[in-house]
Structure 1
Amino acid sequence: MKQRIITGVIAGAAFFVLLYLGTYWFTALILLLSLIGMDEFLRMNGLKKFKATSLIAYLGVAGLTVPWRVSSTYSILTIDHLAWLCLFLLLCVTVISKNKVTIDEVALVFIGVVYVGVGFHYMIETRMIENGGLFWTVLVFFCIWATDSGAYFTGSAFGKHPLWPTISPKKSIEGALGGVVISIIVACLFSFFRPDLLSWNQAVLLGLLIAVVGQMGDLMQSAYKRVKGIKDTGTILPGHGGVLDRVDSWLIVFPMVHLLSLIPHA
């Protein structure tokens, strides 16, 4: 527990400093996390042995993570361009290797590239929002963390009905609802301090969506780890596991709030 707390404090402090600095600092941090996350994905799926696909995976996730924009209205490369190019290169590997690297293997790699790359991409996009980028980024992160904390403490105190026992036995319906309530409260607090950026009804909707989608992202990772028979995706964060263990909700929430236009675009 002591190691977990120390790691959390140090990592959290460094994260917030780079988040506040923004621009290249935050982009560099997110890019590093995306590459580590991709490495964890490849390792837990036994795909590190395929050197060509691993190289394409790293390049693909780096390309998807970084916004290739020369202005607020023009991008050199878009996500769909990069995703298709990555898919093309992976399929080329199956041909060149004469099916020693199978379509199933490259399909799994491609899923990982999109899952990790697009998720991290929208974290940078959120920070780059011209009007209040720091506000929106902190808001989303705080609602995610509020959901986790609210679900844990509410579930510990009142949890009686399992939420999804075959996937995550410790989670309860009461805890999930508690996470939703706390997330909405946090979003409303942000609205209270910056009503010019976020109205009350927007705050309620945003808090609700982040809580629901964030918990689904957590369950997705739990389901995947259960299939693979592992507890953590990595060991880079002592007491906390791997990068993918820590960002499971982030990778789903950030793209979703942009997809539904609940926050401004960069």
Structure 2
Amino acid sequence: MKNILFILFSVLGLSLSAQVGINTPTPRAMLDVNGNYNLRGKLVVQDANNKLSEGRDDQLLVSQGEGNAPTWKTLRIPDYEANKFYLIFNNSFSDREGVKFTASEESSPTSRSASFTKNNTFSTFAQFKKIPGLTKIFKVFSTQSKTYFQFETVVHANFGTVGNTDTSIDYGCGIFVDDKLVNLRQGNIKASSASNPFLTHNQIGLVENLSKGDHTVSVACSRLESYNINNNNPITLGIGTSVASNIDSFISQSSLKVDVYEVPQVFNTVTN
């Protein structure tokens, strides 16, 4: 090793512009070492500010590409406890387009308990419409997972002013993963002494132990049944969209939050 270092520094002293190879007759860099390299002292590099930097303990020297000075990076590996769930993926989405339903678009299932069954495919839900901006892809990395969905929207109907008559519309919204139902909630919007009523609809769903890989979440809603509505004065139902001028698309917009908790099985290193 002493002989190698002597030859190295001698050659560098003779010609600083020449390429030097150790254990290779065809060096491909200013210094090309074909073999093991043992460093006992400091490793110092010149950073982007032309200052010498030794880095800190446990840092790695990382290339920034041709023509750029290398830089020190800290390797951060999170500490995980076995068999505990951690938040691995989370994101939120919004939509202002929503969906609208006329009286002729009611689904009116004969038996809601039979029709609205977990894991039924979306194609079996008659007259359900997907909210366009809430169909999104999320990832699962572990076979042990819990995925939570939080959906919020505004339901709006262009009812006129009504006294004591029970004039209302049933509706339902479902959360689907890979076009299979994981959660469904029903509600009712009722006419009142004020015209064009609206209400906020909140819904939380959960699905466990999805397969590893990409999955698609979507939200679909339907107008189920109307009560005491005059057929000569048809009522439009809006979910995630306005059907009268008393609210706008900002107020009526929908949102969806996705949180995936996992028992980690895949560890991706992160550098800052």
TM-score for both structures, normalised by structure 1:
0.21
**Larger helix proportion, structure 1 or 2?**
1
Asked which structure has the greater RCO (Cα within 8 Å, sep 6+), the reply is 2
- Structure with the greater alpha carbon radius of gyration: 2
TM-score for both structures, normalised by structure 2:
0.21
